[in-house]
Amino acid sequence: MLFFDCLSKRNSAGNTTHSIPLRKHPYFSRTNPHILSQPFTIFRLERPPGHVDADTPPHTHDFQEILFIESGNAYHQIDDEQYTVPPQSVLLVVQGKKHVFRPDADTTGWVIRFQNEFMEFTCSTLFSSFMELSIIPYKDTPAEFAHLLNLVRLTADEFTAPHANTQTVRFLLNAIVSKLKEAKQRFVTHQHNSGSGFHYDIFNQFMALLEEHFKTEQSPAFYAEKLNVTTRTLGEICKKIFNQTTSDIIDRRIIIEAKRMLLYSGLPVQQVGYELGYEDKSYFSRVFKRQTGMTPKEYQEKHQ
């Protein structure tokens, strides 16, 4: 059990404690700690005195997860990528994405886990698997991070209250996700070329559609039609915001999924390509090599 697998709860005196093991709490599956049996939970991220962490193998969750790192560092691995998560940052872990999270001894913060259906509006753009920004840094905006943590604490207080109001918790979560989307968009803007609000609205809608259809729809024209814009307009927006063509973005999203399947599904290369809409194995290999610099087989062998 990871050291942060405990849930905040009020004691009889009204004070908040953080010592209830995850396996004893009804919000989690008794047989699988990576399954959330209720649509939402929030808890503190901190090491109990004398606790020693066991190595955690790569695993997936059936929920979305947001980790707010107040102090200390953490190690995070997603698929074949490894990161250091610094203090004053937020880590986004996409539902179903295989990962390992290993905090340092002095790491503290908060963890929010929720099912998509708990949200009143979509959070697909925040948790988009294509948008490679899984760590949102707040080092240069400490006041904004402090405000975000205030929202998190309000959410925890409401969630652990004797007569918690689910609608209030949902409203606060919506506010947190909205703030994170703003910060993520601003950070991406800083990394790439700037764009107007209209451009970002179209781009975010494109990302949401891509998450839904990338396995079956690879044509830019399909997404342009869904967005009620021309293929050229969509291409210009993608180029302005992400400095890539629409086709490149579609290919990259497919390759992200291909990497996961090559590493974890046990399927042969041809079957992985077929599952992702490529009936021609050689064409799938060419697209994969153009994006990664190696063939699917070479990638598979390198990470075995």
Q: Say what the pLDDT of residue 128 is.
A: 61
**Where is average pLDDT lowest: 111-115, 189-193, 274-278?**
189-193
**Residue at 293: amino acid letter:** G
* Burial class, 50, CB count within 10 angstroms (exposed 0-12 / middle 13-18 / buried 19+): exposed
Long-range contact pairs involving 242-248 (C-beta distance under 8 Å, separation at least 24) = 242/188, 242/192, 242/203, 243/192, 243/193, 245/220, 246/206, 246/220, 247/220
- In three-state secondary structure terms, 9 is strand
Tracing tokens 């075995």 back to the chain, one arrives at 304
For 60, phi then psi, to 5°, come to: -120, 160
Contact of 140 with 92, CB cutoff 8 Å: no
Joined together, the tokens standing for residue 230 give 């021309």
Q: Which of 11-25, 80-94, 133-147, 202-216 has the lowest mean pLDDT?
A: 11-25
How far does Cα 303 stand from its chain's mean position? 22
Rama region for 28: left / alpha / beta (φ>0; ψ in -120 to 50; rest)? beta
Domains, in order of start, for the chain: 6-191 (2.60.120.280), 197-302 (1.10.10.60)
Could you write out the DSSP letters of every residue in 87-122?
SSEEEEE-TT--EEEEE-TT-EEEEEEE-GGGSSS-
Distance CA 26, CA 227 (A): 42
pLDDT at 155: 96
pLDDT over 80 (residue 282): yes
pLDDT at position 261: 86
Q: What pLDDT, on a 0 to 100 scale, did the predictor assign at position 124?
A: 59
Element (H, E) at 65: strand 64-71
Rounded-to-integer distance, Cα 302 and Cα 263, Å: 10
- CA–CA separation, 262 and 254 (whole Å): 12
Nearest-CA neighbor of 204 among 280, 121, 137? Answer: 121
Note whether 12 and 78 are within 8 A (CB).
no
Q: What is the pLDDT of residue 182?
A: 83
Answer yes or no: is pLDDT of 248 > 60: yes
Which run of H or E residues covers position 144?
helix 142-159
Q: What is the DSSP letter of 289?
A: H
3-class DSSP assignment, residue 54 = coil
Which of 88, 130, 75 lies closest to 260, judged by CA?
130
Single-letter code of the amino acid located at 302: K
What pTM value is reported for the model?
0.63
Token pair 């808890």 is found at 43
Determine which of 4-13, 62-71, 72-81, 231-240 has the lowest per-residue pLDDT on average: 4-13
Name beta bridge partners: 102. 75
| Average pLDDT of span 253-276 | 87
Residue 232 has pLDDT above 90, yes or no: yes
User: How far apart, in whole angstroms, are the C-alpha atoms of residue 34 and residue 56?
Assistant: 12
pLDDT at 112: 95
DSSP character at residue 59: B
What is the radius of gyration, based on Cα positions, of the chain? Answer: 21
Please give the pLDDT value at position 263. 79
Please state, in angstroms and as integers, the Cα–Cα distance from residue 130 to each residue in 21, 250, 252, following that order.
Answer: 34, 9, 7
Q: How far apart are CA 194 and CA 261, in angstroms?
A: 34
